[in-house]
Amino acid sequence: MYTLCLVPEVDEGQAPARAGRCANHPAVARVGVCDACGRPLCVACATPVRGRLIGPECLSTVLVEPPPDRPIPAPIPRGGDLVAAAGFALALLSSILPWSRGLVSGPFSAWTWHWSLIACLLAAAGTSVSLLAWRRPRRPTLETAVEVGLAVGTGTFALLHTAFPPSLSEPTAAPALAFLGAAVALGGAVAKAMALRRIATAGESVR
């Protein structure tokens, strides 16, 4: 005589996990356990996350929203610094030549106490500032403003030496060469300032 036994249906979502079976799908063999809670998982439930197996119940605790993408800063234009350095170097090299004919003349006579001395000192400072700004830019706007000021100063004092040479002397063409170098330096600084302005405007338009 056979006895008929009715076996109640088991809800897969509520059935307890059996050995070697998935906690969510008891009829499916497990392939691993959740690294967050230790529940057995089948292939469908196991989600690899950074080298770990995570179940669907723990995904929200493991996955963190990535930080928002930061805009990549635009490269600092440095070609103007190199042009400015070349202009200042030209003005500085002109000091090797005599700036005057007369009582104060001869090589390096521009370094005697007169307008030429200030022009040479400013050209030397401009060369250093421009080279530093070209190799290691830190505050491009400030560095550009300093280059503009030094270029204007170098050209101004070169013109003052031409207009008011030392007593009993007359100027040579060397101050004009220094003025040309100052003009080149000013052009490089202005070109850099315009490039920085374009970058700032582009950044504002993106926002």
* pLDDT digit string, tens, across residues 24-52: 888 888 888 888 888 898 988 888 888 88
Please say whether the dihedral angle defined by the alpha carbons of residues 6, 9, 15 and 17, taken in this order, is positive or negative.
positive
Query: Residue 196 falls within a domain, yes or no?
Result: yes
**Domain of residue 153, residue span:** 79-200
Give me the chain's average pLDDT, please: 83
Q: Do residues 84 and 183 share a domain?
A: yes
Q: How many whole angstroms separate alpha carbon 96 and alpha carbon 99? A: 9
Residue 102, pLDDT > 70, answer yes
Structural domains counted in the chain: 2
My answer on whether 41 and 92 are in the same domain is no
Strand partners, 41: 32
